[in-house]
Chains A and B, each alone.
Chain A
Amino acid sequence: MVPVDYYIVLSAILFAVGALGVLIRRNPLIMFMSIELMLNAGNLAFVAFASVYKSFSGQIFVFFVIAVAAAEVAVGLALIVEIFKSKKSINIDEMNSLKG
């Protein structure tokens, strides 16, 4: 018997760690991974509430979030590869112009 609050607190902590990752790392790949971590923290809260309210809607939302995350990663990584091809570097501080 675990109170649902504990799951929500864990999800909040994981979300804060993901936000910290976006703020302190300068490698766009690791910033991407931090975004995935934040999405995952949101999913954990969804499943916890779905389990409390005995409803499948929360689980189905998680299913869609995973689909959106997969699409996002495909496009994002293609963009990072393209930026690397034109700039020969993926340091986030050098990505300051719209025109490659």
Chain B
Amino acid sequence: MTSDLIVFLVLSLVAVASALGMLFSRNAVYSALFLVLNFVTVAVFYILLGAPFIAMTQITVYAGAIMVLFLFVIMLLGAESLPPSEGLPWQKPLAILLAIILAAESVYLIFTRARSNAVVSMPEIATNSMDNLREMSAMLFNQYLLPFEVASVLLLVAMVGAIVLSKHEKVAKG
């Protein structure tokens, strides 16, 4: 066992455990905090995979902005814990069974049909430096310039949409 593998196994244990904790905690605030832990763990994976820029984006955008928005809405609505609904009694066991089948099948197929011999080694210091970022930004602003601009329009549309959704109520009231 190399040190890389040990780091990977420990981190993946934390990632899966925090994902399950998000799923099964009763209080929605705890779920959100478990999800923050999961996002930070995935950010560490990105650093191990030699993508420091994506790791920092993950922490600032996901663990920072998006989860703060989630916590804000949870506390605003007082939706920490909803009363258990009757719903369909057989839905939960069936869903767990189907999710286990999905995970088992995908793991089986990855290890049998899509097996690759490629390995990921920890990045050298050289690949981790500014060269990495410079190369990536050159690609982003040349080859992927159009998607980048479309993404900015998408964010603008989402912002306008969110404002319109919450402004409508005010107009109706006054």
- Residues of chain A touching chain B, judged by Cβ–Cβ distance below 8 Å, are 1-10, 12-21, 23-27, 29-30, 32-34, 36-37, 40, 43-44, 47-48, 50-52, 56-57, 59-60, 62-64, 66-75, 77-82, 84-85, 90-91, 93
Closest to A5 in B: B110
- Which residues of chain B have C-beta atoms less than 8 A from A1's C-beta? 2, 4-5, 119-121
Q: Could you jot down 26 A-B contacts, CB within 8 Å?
A: A1-B121, A3-B119, A4-B119, A5-B114, A12-B110, A23-B95, A25-B23, A26-B84, A27-B79, A27-B82, A33-B32, A33-B70, A37-B19, A44-B46, A59-B51, A62-B51, A62-B54, A68-B151, A71-B157, A73-B69, A74-B162, A78-B162, A79-B165, A82-B169, A90-B77, A93-B85
> Assuming A7-B49, A37-B19, A78-B161, is B144 touching A60 (CB within 8 A)?
yes
Residues 39-62 (chain B) with a chain A CB within 8 angstroms: 39, 42, 45-46, 49-51, 53-54, 57-58, 61-62
Partner pick for B38 among A40, A81, A90, CB 8 A cutoff: A40
A85 CA to B98 CA, complexed, in Å: 34
CB <8 Å contact, A9 and B2: no
Interface size band for B: 35 or more
Give the interface SS of chain B, mostly helix, strand, loop or mixed.
helix
Chain B residues contacting A51 (CB-CB under 8 Å) are 49-51, 120
Contacts of A60 in B (CB 8 A): 136, 139-140, 144
A59 with B54: CB separation less than 8 A: yes
Give bound CA distance, A6 to B66, whole Å.
28
A91–B82 Cα distance when bound, in Å, is 7
8 closest pairs, A vs B, by CB? A71-B158, A23-B95, A16-B103, A20-B99, A12-B106, A78-B162, A51-B49, A78-B165
Query: A50 with B51: in contact, given A4-B118, A73-B70, A74-B69 (CB under 8 Å)?
Result: yes
Do the beta carbons of A10 and B15 come within 8 Å of each other? yes
Contact partner, B45, options A4, A7, A13, A32, Cβ 8 Å = A7
